[in-house]
Chains A and B, each alone.
Chain A
């Protein structure tokens, strides 16, 4: 059998022959005046050896290839080409191939010493170390939802916005919302923080979502016939509904408020998350066949099982304001932060006076202060009992509040509220920092005799939230009014009932609730008889081969791009969105800065 082909680059002609016709082929080569160059041997394991003989005719190379089963002898070509004897002796010593008719047989004295062991020297090529694992970059490790961040940044750089959004939706379905409100733990772990500022990952996600629009993939598996009830339409509920609907289950969401969205609707003001973006994002989930029933409060789990549902997911959220417990708190001019934000976002009218005070240091306190400014207050002060370094609010929010003219008084807290005519007289006491408490922050200790009084029109209490659950639900309630559930599978004490989000962990963030919803969807699918593998579209992006030392563009010291915001004096008059997002040039510059820590060379 003789076959001519070229599979080696750099070679003029190649011939594959059987062992019987091998010698005649070599004699033809000698007749044309060729020069023997060398022979390469490779161990194929079960199939034997493959030997390639290379010849040179007038500066061009031609090959003859043979396959030798193990144990078979090969006729030597050294009677025809004398220089081949050295390489055949070397192949004999290294691989153990037998040759017959060699011109000089060194009998293993060429390469090996007389006392060397008689085993083949060159082991087969599959005896390799395992390939190193692809490294998980620190940004992806820090994200509670585990989004593939360098992957979508690469897709944005190539201009494939829809594919980038689909890649994000494999782990987090609320893309446009996260691009505006996420507190971005990924940016704190970005490796560029040592010399420069971290990459603006959140704003790039928002840019991709703005460019891709909301007309996304609607494919799902065929109907399984199972029905799942989800209580609460916050981020945890919406994410669980998205993944379950893609797997083919029938999902119904029960929402107690008049409009869906949970804390995204009634906890985050419009200047951070406009309501039309929220509506569009919820519509991408209802397009999959999910039904949202508003104005329906669920009292206990049994009534859902009686209606024919096979499993229940509780995502009630944390909507009850924590009280301070000081005298005078129930006055009508003392406002509850959660109620105030909810009424403003649902469109009701809320009146505030000219001088407003806010107690608290988290994101909801800053939100309440900025909303009060937009409702007509002239002077807003925030009272926080520790210092700025311990404030749990994100630094960008605090900066934006200070730009708008809000004052922050540190190391003070109110002890008593009294009514004086139309105004409130609030007695504050100064604090100093003492020993650290269980959360690691230093406990504030009141200084004796340092009370002072402040006159305010309204006082907003915004020191925290708590879930609002009762025993009638039918599941175990733990410390701090939270439902007890397993952290990985979201299972509660009752079979078929799962719980996740703020109601399980206490007040946390949007992305953690989304991660909980996804884990619950996997567990619910397994409970209903499926295999727990989510049905999300594949996004193949090419493995970019980065030679680390040659990423000269990314290593230049380019400062972080500053996103444009509205002017502070103008923006307090209305609820328009403050952050304007990236332009095309800004996004192109920012994507080049990424160091591609998930390298793959």
Chain B
């Protein structure tokens, strides 16, 4: 037990090791490499379907007749292969901690007609 004493004294006078989230957020929590959810830029997408062919878990689907892109955030494994490989860079990662949800809902993006 005497080996623990320096640690006990540090903990007594040092303050807690945890952070009271959501009142305080850790400063360097949000990095650029962060792999979370992403957003779709409808101006740049041309419905080529590359993201659908590359996804390992079939979470993103492209429908060419109705001009929609559907993303299921509950099947996605957040590996960001689609983000890195889109040629028009139409998928952009959002650096934000996502909260849990009550309802399983898919996200549908509509791509307008182009001239």
Contact = CB atoms under 8 A, between A and B. Distances in A.
A binds B: yes
Interface of A: 132, 135, 191, 194-195, 548-549, 551, 555, 595, 597, 599
Interface stretch (B32-40, B81-89, B102-110): B81-89
Contact of B87 (A132, A135, A595): A595
Nearest to B82: A549
B53 A191 contact: no
Contact of B48 (A132, A195, A555, A597): A597
B72 interface: no
A548 B48 contact: no
B53 A194 contact: no
Nearest to B88: A194
B46 A191 contact: yes
Contacts of A135: 49
Specify which of A132, A194, A597 lies most central, judged by the most chain B CB atoms within 10 Å of its CB.
A194
B114 to A, nearest CB: 8
A82 B53 CA distance: 46
B46 A549 contact: no
Contacts of B85: 548-549
A412 to B, nearest CB: 27
Contacts of A549: 54, 81, 84-85
Nearest to B51: A548
Given A191-B87, A194-B46, A195-B44, 7 more contacts: A191-B48, A194-B88, A194-B114, A548-B50, A548-B85, A548-B87, A551-B87
B44 A132 contact: no
B88 A195 contact: yes
Interface string B43-80: 01010111001100000000000000000000000000
A548 B54 contact: yes
Contacts of B46: 191, 194
Contacts, number: 24
A261 to B, nearest CB: 37
List of 5 A-B pairs having minimum Cβ-Cβ separation, nearest first: A549-B85, A549-B84, A548-B85, A595-B87, A548-B50
Contacts of A548: 50, 54, 85, 87
A551 B87 CA distance: 9
Nearest to A555: B87
A194 B50 CA distance: 16
A549 B81 CA distance: 8
A555 B81 CA distance: 16
Contacts of A555: 87
A132 B87 CA distance: 21
A227 B48 CA distance: 47
A194 B44 CA distance: 7
A135 B85 CA distance: 17
Nearest to A548: B85
Interface centre among A132, A549, A597 (most CB of B within 10 A): A549
Contacts of B81: 549
- Most chain A beta carbons < 10 A, residue from B48, B49, B87, B114: B87
A132 B53 contact: yes
Contacts of B44: 194-195
A195 B43 CA distance: 10
- Counting chain B CB atoms within 10 Å of each CB, which of A132, A548, A551 scores highest? A548
